[in-house]
Amino acid sequence: MSKKNVALTSSGAEIRKKPLSLRIWNNRGYYVMFLPVLIFVLILYYWPMLGVRYAFYEYKPVGTPTFVGLANFEKMFGTNVKAFMTAFTNTLELSIVRLLLTNLSAIIVSLFLNEMGNLFAKKTLQTIIYLPHFMSWAVVASIFSLFLSPSSTGLVNGMLREWGILGDADKNIYFLANSDWWRPIFQGINIWKETGWGTIVFLATLSGVNPELYEAADIDGATRMQKMFYVTLPALGSTIITVLILNLAKVLNMFEPVFVLYNNAVYDVADVISTYTYRQTFAIALPNYGYTTAVGLFRSLVGCVLVLLSNWLSKKVRGRGII
């Protein structure tokens, strides 16, 4: 009997597998159900990937595409290297800091929510905290632009004058057009918007902690704070690492939060790869789609490396990969 047609059961016994064609026929209903999804994925995800070839072409709105080899990549790391590397480093810095801060704030909020004894108050507070997640970034940007406006109607500038921090002779601060203020404000808005949503995963983990651990800690005379540090926080350890690893693969996928909050006065600290590509495609009179495709391809390759790194870290930490 061919080994290809033999399978082992959990007990080690050998059984003969049915031919592939027969297995497909027997499960034809499942394949028919799956077919629309497969067609959808092929058309919307894989068919556009054929456009990657234009990374090696000079492709403008007028004329026919011309093969130029690696010229677009030479431009990326040559004449445009300063603007591109600024966008690339900003992407990494903003994304990684955002990842660490939002997860840290979600962990802290989860720990304190877990300590609340009143279930109704706990659920109400949790709901209030994660409601901002459901607001679109366009709405969030509008709200904070009004709060931080340098005009007389700006809430923050008005409060600073009321408190005497800004004198009558001082100009109002344009927070979102100031390179020193933009990043702290951006990260603060992200914490406000995403912390509540992040608490869901951590609270779900804490709900599965064995109550006997807390009982043992009570017997040993541990205080509430000690139980939080020596029982609750260690229980979150594996989840924290897993969340960080899974999100590491998405650090380059940042567009909307930056796009709705930045402006040309803060390009040096706010411009990321996605917004850089957007401007190169839509904000110039005669864009070179080949160049922007090359930028997108480079971003995808770096993202692929991060996914593989995340998978390797996942195997080291959890014993299994994420792909």
pLDDT of residue 311: 77
pLDDT of residue 321: 64
**97 class by beta-carbon count within 10 Å (0-12 exposed, 13-18 middle, 19+ buried):** middle
Reported for 142-145, long-range contacts at CB under 8 A and 24+ positions apart, including other chains, are 144/176, 144/185, 144/189, 144/261, 145/176
Q: Average pLDDT, whole number, for the chain?
A: 85
Q: Which residue has the tokens 């709200």?
A: 143
pLDDT of residue 89: 93
Residue pLDDT, tens place only, 179-211:
899 999 999 999 999 998 888 888 888 888 888
pLDDT top residue among 6 and 297: 297
Grade residue 45 by pLDDT with cuts at 50, 70 and 90: confident
Residue pLDDT, tens place only, 199-250:
888 888 888 888 888 888 888 888 888 888 888 888 888 788 888 877 877 7
Residue 9 scores a pLDDT above 60: no
Residue 126 scores a pLDDT above 90: no
Grade residue 4 by pLDDT with cuts at 50, 70 and 90: low
Reported for 52-58, long-range contacts at CB under 8 A and 24+ positions apart, including other chains, are 52/293, 52/297, 54/289, 54/290, 54/293, 55/290, 55/293, 55/294, 55/296, 55/297, 56/290, 56/294, 57/290, 58/288, 58/290
Tokens of 205: 């983990």
pLDDT top residue among 196 and 17: 196
pLDDT of residue 1: 47
Say how many CA atoms lie within 13 Å of 177 toward its Cβ.
9
Average pLDDT over residues 8-32: 75
**CA geometry: angle at 270 spanning 85 and 182, to 5°?**
145
**Got the DSSP string for 171-221?**
PPP-GGG-HHHHHHHHHHHHHHHHHHHHHHHHHHHHTTS-HHHHHHHHHTT
pLDDT of residue 7: 56
CATH numbers and ranges of domains, the chain: 3-58 (no CATH), 71-318 (1.10.3720.10)
What span, in angstroms and rounded, lies between the C-alpha atoms of 291 and 80? 11
Residue 116 scores a pLDDT above 90: no
Window from 12-21, 68-77, 148-157, 252-261 with minimum mean pLDDT = 12-21
Q: Which residues pair with 7 in a beta bridge?
A: 15
What span, in angstroms and rounded, lies between the C-alpha atoms of 175 and 188? 13
Tokens of 222: 């541990």
The answer to whether residues 270 and 89 touch, using CB atoms and an 8 Å cutoff, is: no
Residue pLDDT, tens place only, 59-78:
888 888 889 989 999 999 98
Residue 33 scores a pLDDT above 50: yes
Tokens of 169: 């002779």
pTM score: 0.81
pLDDT top residue among 50 and 169: 50
Calculate the CA 268 to chain-centre distance: 22
pLDDT top residue among 320 and 150: 150
